[in-house]
A and B are shown apart, each in its own frame.
Chain A
Amino acid sequence: MISELFTMTVLIGILSSGVRLATPYLYASIGETFGQRSGVLNLGVEGQMLLGAFTAFYVAMNTGSLWLGVLAAMIVGAVMGLAMAFVTVNLHAQQGISGIGFYLFGLGMSDLLFQKMMGTVRTVQGFPKIGIPFLSDIPGIGDIFFNHNILVYGAYLLVLVAWFVLNKTNLGLKIRAVGENPDAADSLGVSVARVRYFTIILGGTLSGVAGASLSIALLNVFQQNMTSGLGFIAVALVYFGAWRPFGVLIGALLFSMVNSLQLWIQVLGVPIPSEIAVMMPYVLTILVLVATVSKVRAPSALTKPFEREE
């Protein structure tokens, strides 16, 4: 049965679903990258994703418009980001712990709304696959990269945009300055508070999309606690990727590929206990963190509230 894993169709299947499954990680991790580069650790991603996933599903189900669902998820994520920004920037709350608070809020709230407003698990017709003309016809490659739904393409495009914004624009320079040396940035007239508000709200918005990508593009259902730790992994991927969009991309792909492999192992009935297979990505993440973290440096002001010297 092991040999079945290495037939061409299975291999293409694993790679293709790996590319697809990276989507929620990418949205959430890229959003988190912006926050962390400006010095704010948002640990509430999981809660934002859950509320985003519910909102997207509920709106899409009731209006019939998937895009309205995505928009609603973005708004909910942004509002949660706004609250997070107020608490961490203005009230100087401990970032890690307030993030846990937002996680619990999102976990409870999405569950409450689900039970009150839907009651049972339902499905929607999610975003359809769109084959890119010509490219999707290439044998193998086409199925792996060019035959996905629009949110999947969007996630990869986002990596490029994030890289460009962070490294090639004035805004990116400000974000990095605020994360590395807020005092210096402040003395040069950059508003530390405004930049951090921007990145945290952006992070929340993208976490909302990450949730939407789960509930109306990949799985097409909403269930209580459906993210089951995905948002926390998204935070880990930012460390994993050394705070760089392309590093995050590699981490997300590695993670989703192992995940996809694990799913196929179960489908094909390869005699490896499924629990061991499910466990692998987490073990892998810890190992990679051990191997890489000591070699790269986090943004200097990460988790430190900014207070102007009087």
Chain B
Amino acid sequence: MRHTIRYFRINQSARTRNCRVMFRAQSKKSDSVNSELFQFSTTTVLLLMVAFYGGTYLLSRRIKHDANDADGFMVSNHRIGFGMGAASMTATWVWAASFYAAATSGYTYGVSGPLHYGFWGALMILFIYPFGRRFRELAPNAATLGELIHARHGASSQLILAFSNLLGSVISLMVNLTAAGALVSVLSPLSFQAGIVIAGLGVLSYTFYSGFRASVFTDFAQLIAMMAIAVVIIPAVLFAMGGPSVVVDNLSNLTSEQANLFSKEAFLHQGAPYFVAVLAYAIGNQTISQRLFAVDESHIKPTFITATISYGAIVIGLGMIGLMALTVGIEPLDGNMNNLIPQMVSTYLPPFFIGLFFILVIGSLSSTADSDLSALSAIMMADVYGKNIAKNRADPRKMLIIGRTTMIVATVLGMILASMSFDILVMLVFVGALWGAIVFPVIASCFWDRVTNAAFTWAVVAALLAFSVVRFELLPMTGALALGMELLAAIGAGVVAGLMTFGFFGKRLGVLAFFIATAVIGWIGAGQLREYTVLLSSLTAYGVSTLVCIAISLASSERFDFDTIQQRVSDYNKPAEDDVPEGTLTAR
């Protein structure tokens, strides 16, 4: 999370200024070997973008339309094949920030840096798989995870989840449009705002009619382009700068930590905070759960494994460009790490490759942005309208109108926020906390029949309060309070380890992992964790939400019958047969 925040901070505070500085810097020669960035003409960039978005739009028109198919608009037919599912999952998870952040990690932490970004990011996909199978088993016809939680608990828990999903997707959309503006303004005379508007309208154009189906279909073409370009660009940069021998000859430019594959510094500053966020990202991100509900159930496992490896290979590979830049002593232009890859490509490769890089970034940000639009529309259609306004008597035609209107509103909002360089740091911190706070209640609700709506809701509220106290230092983190928070954080670390182990190896090993991790982190972290505010606050959110959720659940004698979920979450194209009042519980 911290790493992502760092990326956003760099991106938010410096992007427009830096882009313009870079643009001006193109005519200058500085002392470093990489002071010049190639620049396309306005016509070339417009042609590239028209070709990309025009081609994608034409592809999307090949999808047959059914004017009343609300389910198809949200999750296709629940039978997407392995190939399309894996391609879409990978394309969605790879966004523009992936390249920049992986290269930054390689440049900052050296040999192990790209691994500490790409590996943990890839694991986010893998770790939702065991839980995803349970979600799918409970609610095979769901379009969103919120629908499942609505059937399990009722409106308040569902709306907490839906709200966190909405915020996450709006932020993601804004960041991807920002990346488009930055790229266009860096590599052409066009303005930052022009790039945002072209990308926003381009993505909306091909997603508007078919929604999720267009997103998945075009994801495949975009991913193929991205992978093919990554396969070419990484060795091209390596051999253009002189091959592996140049890297080895310049290893003296690295510190001992940077040269160490098992760098403790890289793990503690990059890998560990990311590792903590793994489950939060996977649970809090509707784009992933939407694909989970869309893929043919028999293909869930190979789809997730393939997406994990593909994401890791692409992102770690492009992160190696940051490592190469470090070894040959490249200085990022204007100190902005986001410039590293464009600089390396500009310095060592001819304009054709810069065009490829341009398509690579546009493809990655567009595939994620279209997934965000699809996710936002599904949340508004199913979670807000379907479950809370129409109360399971939803009209598919109205749902489609709501979905498409959501896309337009979200695109306009994303373009405005991106153009204004709106500071999203506080919002991002809040979303991260919210995602961390809901992880245990969501997962426990799907496996343990004693979790109640009150337990879910109060667990999230208490975790957010505890998070705020630590993260924003509302109270001085000293003495008994700091120690108490560190112990809660140790429990949070145990929860993360326990849930991950539980997902793959079952309850017994999960509980064992919880106790071991809690004891180890409690022993090491007491007196130490208070120095790492971001890590402490995130882990505290996990720990508090777990303790509150368990305590309130144990105080209740209610039991939930999981079989009722499938009856309550049905397709929208046909009316729900069961209209059981929300959150109905049975006493044993």
| Interaction A to B | no
